[in-house]
Amino acid sequence: MEYIKSLRLLFFSLFLFVSLSGYAQKTVVTGKVTDANSGDPVPFANIVFKGTSVGTTTDFEGNYRLETNEPTDSIAASYIGYITKTKAVKKGTSQTINYQLEENVLSLQEVVFVAGENPAFEILRNVVRNKDNNNKRSLDAYEYETYTKIEIDVDNISEKFRKRKIMKKITTVLDSVERIAGEDGKPVLPVFISESLSEYYYRNNPKLQHEKIQKTKITGVGIEDGTLVSQFIGSSFQEYNFYQNWLNIVGKEFVSPIADGWKLYYDYDLTDSAYVGDDYCYRLDFYPKSEQDLAFKGTMWITKREYALKQIDATVSSTANLNYVEKIKIQQELAPTDAGPWIPVKNRVLLDIGEVTKDMAGVLAKFYTSNKNIKVNTPQDLKFYAQPIEVAEDFKIGNDNSFWDSHRHEPLTPTELSVYKMIDTLKNIPVVKTYTEILKVAINGYKKVGKFDVGPYLSLYANNTVEGHRFQIGARTNIDFSDKFVFGGRVAYGTEDQEFKYRGFAEMIVDRDRWTLLRAEYTKDIDQVGLSADDLLDNYIFLAATKFGNLIRPYKYHQAKMSFQREVFKGLTQKASFQYRTFDPLYNFAYYTNPDQADSPIADEFQTSELILETRFAKDEVFVQNDNQRISLGTQKWPIVTLRYTRGLKGVMNSDFNYNKLGVNITKNMKMGFFGTSSFSITGEHIFETLPYPLLKAHIGNESLFYTSAAFNLMNFSEFASDSYAYLKYNHHFEGFLLNRIPLMKKLKWRLLATANVIYGQLREENQALIPEFTEDGEVVKPIGSFSKNEPYVEVGYGVENILKVLRVDFLHRLNYLDNPDVDKFGIKISFQFIL
């Protein structure tokens, strides 16, 4: 018996030894996978112990944990678009192994299926069939708390760039950058980081949205924590919905890999099926059919049960027809709501802007959003959505470190904590401050000096045939002076006419919620018939250019104006103005004061007093407030319609005429997906009374070499005037629709465009008879041209833009009125533009 007991004890000891040995030999590895270029996490990467079947994938933050009892000496990390990296493992211990994966610059191989239908196609058909069930925009309403983090860095810091004079002065910061980059990472120089916490609301019928930005924290070189920046760092500008056929990114339309017409744009590969969290999913890899198209390549996971998008990693590479953009990467994780449709809970976006020249560095912009506390199908009242973006009055108060530590959805990484310190150091370096101020002036046109902005610098100097050398200086108050009142003015002097010109204004912001302004101004200056500054306010560069060279039909004027503007309700703005103006011509001009009288007196100047009523309707227009200004970001879907009625008041302030004018303008930008983008402007006006032609519509011509959308580009200055007219201006940008398909040509990234300008107008005989004809070189000359009855003026054009990334060339044809003196029936005009 003792022998048996001893034998049992021996076996038990051996069993315990083997068990403990097996436990002691378990290998546990945790770590994080990041992009070597950007430092961002790489979610969904594959992590595998070499020589085993044990593996896992990283989560959305790039973290992983893996353990095994099997013998192994290394662990590998891999992901589509990256070079696989393998590292050694210490057996039988717990350890941390981080990876910094480098992008694989080799093109992905085409997906080829030998026989039968691609198995991915049936999955995609089911995704499209179930869009209404899974798309968040099918909900009556949804709302959530959103946390947004943005970081902007300078990357591709070469040795040559580091040796530049300005960079030598920030060596301390660069040394910190090197340390943070890590063993395999590439250093980036942070220049901006922000965090915001907001509440986002969406309503489906009618489609309305509202974001209330509660708190912001902004640190950046040359950036202040103002209301404008706080509005742009909210989630409203970082929303990407792949259930839509087209996604608008950096102003361009990109086709979604689950668009209704997916088969036209993409190739697919069904590569795997596995559980992602609690959902069994298909893994689909997708690739654009044409590498120049604005389309994505990447990976997405589709749930087997709902055919819903669970996760997606989509990249636009430098081969796409974009300027300056090296890469756009969007990573998204979605979760189902109680009602069924899925809402993104985490988003990460990377925008990599390449070097403009070899001597410059690039820019990385990184965006992260997290959504929680999601509620659905509880829409707010319509008036709740009146202001799409609102910043809380106390958005700067109480947002210290303790607040953010308790309200961030995800804690900051050690690298991000260091970024705050580096930016604070960087922005206090004197040379950086100097360059920052220069850049601000270049962008804004004004130099901030305490409570005043001095400028605009584009109008500091001009030279023309009337004034000679024109020098001008101006200033306006800013929000540091007052958030309710704005005062400003300018003074100009001409060396040839030796006269001062000036302008002054005062503005009161009565209400910011329903934007309401009261404004008074007085101006003494010179202008040109048909090139009125009021008509060119939206084309400031062309307006500044009209002050140079030979002035056509110039005149001096005094103008006093008062206006009141109020947003009656969202989308509808009403404006009322009273304006007094004089007309003192500096060219050969006269008109009959009583044309019905045979020997009518002739006058060569006049005065007008006008009451102007304007109604502007833009149903889904989005605005942001920049201190004391409100900036329109355009409409999403609907056109902008403006109605204007003008009443001339004879006798008021010695005004010479009674008259009525009625006009309408409709403008619309249209996104046409694969075929590019279009825009049109339709304008019409009727003037009921008989008036001298400076009070009619002298249509804007363009006799310069440069193309402008503000004019009819093959029409001469003051060639036509109308008392009734309607015109259409149409532009279409094909993007890469045609040239992307032509071998060799597609590498140039040129883009075709087309234009058409049509105007139908008339000038009644009584208006023509009001102006005396004059003789020039023995011939009778009409003072102003007019259109023939029932014949519109037409010019059409085609052209190429994006030549060398900045040049646009238009080839224009004038189709009629070719017998008019000194006209061109064909013209080539150029322009310079900065476009992506």
pLDDT in tens, 289-317: 888 888 999 999 999 999 999 999 999 88
Residue 52's contacts (CB-CB under 8 Å, 6 or more residues apart) are 68, 70, 72
Residues 370 and 498 in one domain: no
pLDDT reading at 744 higher than 80: no
Assess if residue 115 is contained within a domain: no
- Provide the CATH number for the domain around residue 36: 2.60.40.1120
Residue 41's contacts (CB-CB under 8 Å, 6 or more residues apart) are 32, 33, 34, 35, 58, 60, 61, 62, 63, 348
Domain residues for 774? 658-836
Question: What is the average pLDDT across 534-540?
Answer: 64
Residue 41 preceded by cis peptide, ω within 30: no
d(C-alpha 709, C-alpha 812), whole Å: 13
Assess if residue 112 is contained within a domain: no
Of residues 164 and 50, the one with the higher pLDDT is 50
Residues 353 and 493 in one domain: no
pLDDT reading at 7 higher than 60: no
Count the neighbouring beta carbons within 10 Å of the beta carbon of residue 302. Answer: 27
Assess if residue 445 is contained within a domain: no
> In terms of Cα–Cα distance, which of 726, 728, 646, 653 is closest to 691?
646
φ, ψ at 244 (rounded to 5°): -75, 150
Q: Is the separation of the CB atoms in 463 and 548 below 8 Å?
A: yes
pLDDT in tens, 438-494: 767 766 778 888 899 998 888 899 999 999 999 999 999 998 899 899 999 999 999
Count the neighbouring beta carbons within 10 Å of the beta carbon of residue 401. Answer: 9
Confidence band, pLDDT 50/70/90 cuts, at residue 146? very high
Of the candidate ranges 129-143, 302-316, 513-527, 732-746, the one whose mean pLDDT is the lowest: 732-746
Q: Is the separation of the CB atoms in 46 and 79 below 8 Å?
A: yes
Residues 299 and 414 in one domain: yes
Question: What is the average pLDDT across 79-89?
Answer: 88
441-480 CB burial, b ≥16 within 10 A, e <16: beeeebbeeeebbebbbebeebebebbeebebebbbbbee
610-631 CB burial, b ≥16 within 10 A, e <16: bebebebebbbbbbbbeebeee
> Average pLDDT, whole number, for the chain?
85
Residues 631 and 669 in one domain: no
Give the torsion sign (CA, 475, 480, 483, 485). negative
pLDDT reading at 565 higher than 80: yes
pLDDT reading at 832 higher than 70: yes
Residues 566 and 527 in one domain: yes
Residues 198 and 329 in one domain: yes
Residues 257 and 360 in one domain: yes
Residue 18, pLDDT score = 43
Residue 23, pLDDT score = 47
Residue 194's contacts (CB-CB under 8 Å, 6 or more residues apart) are 148, 149, 150, 151, 216, 217, 218, 219, 220, 229, 233
Assess if residue 644 is contained within a domain: no
Of residues 182 and 78, the one with the higher pLDDT is 78
Residue 21, pLDDT score = 45
Confidence band, pLDDT 50/70/90 cuts, at residue 20? very low
Confidence band, pLDDT 50/70/90 cuts, at residue 538? low
d(C-alpha 34, C-alpha 186), whole Å: 11
pLDDT reading at 344 higher than 70: yes
82-120 CB burial, b ≥16 within 10 A, e <16: beebeeebeeeeeeebbbbbeeeeeeeeebeeeeeebeb
pLDDT reading at 107 higher than 50: no
Residues 150 and 96 in one domain: no
Assess if residue 653 is contained within a domain: no
pLDDT reading at 129 higher than 90: yes
Confidence band, pLDDT 50/70/90 cuts, at residue 337? very high
Of the candidate ranges 150-159, 555-564, 696-705, the one whose mean pLDDT is the lowest: 150-159
The three state secondary structure string of 573-640 is EEEEEEEEEEEEECCCCCEECCCCCCCCCEECCEEEEEEEEEEEEECCEEEEEECCEEEEEEECCCCE
Confidence band, pLDDT 50/70/90 cuts, at residue 619? confident
Question: What is the average pLDDT across 57-63?
Answer: 87
Residues in the chain: 836
Structure tokens at 604: 């060569």
Assess if residue 348 is contained within a domain: yes
End-to-end CA distance of the chain: 90
Residues 768 and 711 in one domain: yes
Name the residue type at position 243: Y
Residue 756's contacts (CB-CB under 8 Å, 6 or more residues apart) are 728, 729, 730, 794, 795, 796, 797
Residues 678 and 575 in one domain: no
Confidence band, pLDDT 50/70/90 cuts, at residue 14? very low
Q: Is the separation of the CB atoms in 265 and 225 below 8 Å?
A: no
d(C-alpha 680, C-alpha 670), whole Å: 8
pLDDT in tens, 168-196: 667 666 666 665 665 566 777 788 888 88
Residue 282, pLDDT score = 93
Place of tokens 């315990």: 16
Assess if residue 646 is contained within a domain: no
pLDDT in tens, 662-687: 999 999 998 887 788 899 999 999 99
Highest mean pLDDT among 229-233, 493-497, 549-553, 566-570: 493-497
Residue 200, pLDDT score = 92
> In terms of Cα–Cα distance, which of 45, 622, 43 is closest to 350?
43
Instruction: From 604, 637, 670, give the residue that closes a domain.
Output: 637
Q: Is 737 helix (H, G, I), strand (E, B) or coil?
A: coil
Residues 152 and 219 in one domain: yes
> In terms of Cα–Cα distance, which of 254, 256, 207, 216 is closest to 235?
216
Domains identified in the chain, total number:
4
Assess if residue 421 is contained within a domain: yes
> In terms of Cα–Cα distance, which of 49, 45, 58, 174 is closest to 102?
45
Residues 739 and 625 in one domain: no
Q: How far is CA 209 from CA 379, 381, 387, 780, in A?
A: 10, 11, 8, 63
Q: Check residue 751 and give left, alpha or beta (phi > 0: left; psi -120 to 50: alpha).
A: beta
Q: Is the separation of the CB atoms in 246 and 255 below 8 Å?
A: yes
